Amino acid sequence: MKYSLEHAKKTYHLWGRHPLWYKIACTVTFLGQESKLRKLMVEKLELKQGDTVLDLACGTGLNFQFLENAVGSNGKIIAFDYSNEMLTAAKQRAKENNWDNIDFIQGDAAQLSLNTKIDGALSSLGISAIPQHKEALKKAVDALKNNRKISILDAQLPLGFWSIFNPLIAYVYKHWASWDYTKNIPEDLRQLISNTKTKRYNGKTIYIAYGTKSAP
């Protein structure tokens, strides 16, 4: 079930070279509710103008417009991803929109090391694709200032009637998105942040798990 970093690299090499296809795949994954759900995930962070926020496994930068609205041009986005091709597409998006307050970092999220403390951290459809996802979550929480928030959006297999399609969905997303649906990401986040809450959307196929880092 678990895919290697090499698999993620190969998979996203392809998507990064075809950002329009990737966008279409996202529209399908979010069942047409993409903007609404990305915006909700960002709202959970309660960011202020001037804040610094981490977009972990940022992909082609589909969260940027919501993050830019939240932190403003005097704030900063740290866009972190393993795939050079996804980052190239993200940089192109930033250039086209004149967003010059984004720092792009290539690396493995499990080895994340930032030279600044951050005011918020999020990841959308990223943690499920990161092979060592627990380490990545821990590093993101470590980088967060006390009393600030982390918000994780991810997908899960449908329940009820639609679960008849689960073998197909699991196969497609495993092979084409390095998706590991067996991870219990809300629980893994709760191990780090005990006040984690989880809200589910789109017939429970998308969830947002979020919480506040408490002072020790």
Ligand X SMILES: C[S@@+](CC[C@H](N)C(=O)[O-])C[C@H]1O[C@@H](n2cnc3c(N)ncnc32)[C@H](O)[C@@H]1O
Q: Of the listed pieces 5-13, 95-103, 142-150, 184-192, which binds ligand X according to CB under 6 A?
A: 5-13
**Residues numbered 66-105 forming contacts with ligand X, rule: CB under 6 A:** 81-83, 86
155: contact with ligand X by CB under 6 A: no
Site of tokens 């995930």: 41
Please name which of 189, 188, 210 lies closest in space to residue 47, comparing C-alpha atoms.
Answer: 210
**144-155 and 102-106 as β-strands: parallel, antiparallel, unpaired?**
unpaired
Ramachandran category for residue 178: left, alpha or beta (phi over 0 → left; psi -120 to 50 → alpha)? left
Tell the burial category of 161 from Cβ atoms under 10 Å away from its Cβ (0-12, 13-18, 19+).
Answer: exposed
Question: To the nearest whole angstrom, how small is the minimum distance from the Cβ of residue 90 to ligand X?
Answer: 9
- In the list 45, 118, 125, 208, the residue contacting ligand X (rule: CB under 6 A) is 125
Distances from the Cα of 101 to the Cα of 3, 59, 140, angstroms = 33, 17, 20
Specify the residue, 41 or 50, whose C-beta has the smaller distance to ligand X: 41
Question: To the nearest whole angstrom, how small is the minimum distance from the Cβ of residue 24 to ligand X?
Answer: 12
Q: How far apart are CA 133 and CA 216, in angstroms?
A: 23
- In the list 78, 94, 177, 206, the residue contacting ligand X (rule: CB under 6 A) is 177
Specify the residue, 13 or 195, whose C-beta has the smaller distance to ligand X: 13
Tokens of 86: 């996804």
Q: How far apart are CA 173 and CA 16, in angstroms?
A: 16
- In the list 94, 130, 144, 193, the residue contacting ligand X (rule: CB under 6 A) is 130
Q: Of the listed pieces 39-47, 119-127, 192-200, 208-216, which binds ligand X according to CB under 6 A?
A: 119-127
Specify the residue, 66 or 214, whose C-beta has the smaller distance to ligand X: 66
The residue ranges that bind ligand X (CB under 6 A) are 5, 8, 12, 26, 57-59, 62, 81-83, 86, 108-110, 124-126, 129-131, 177
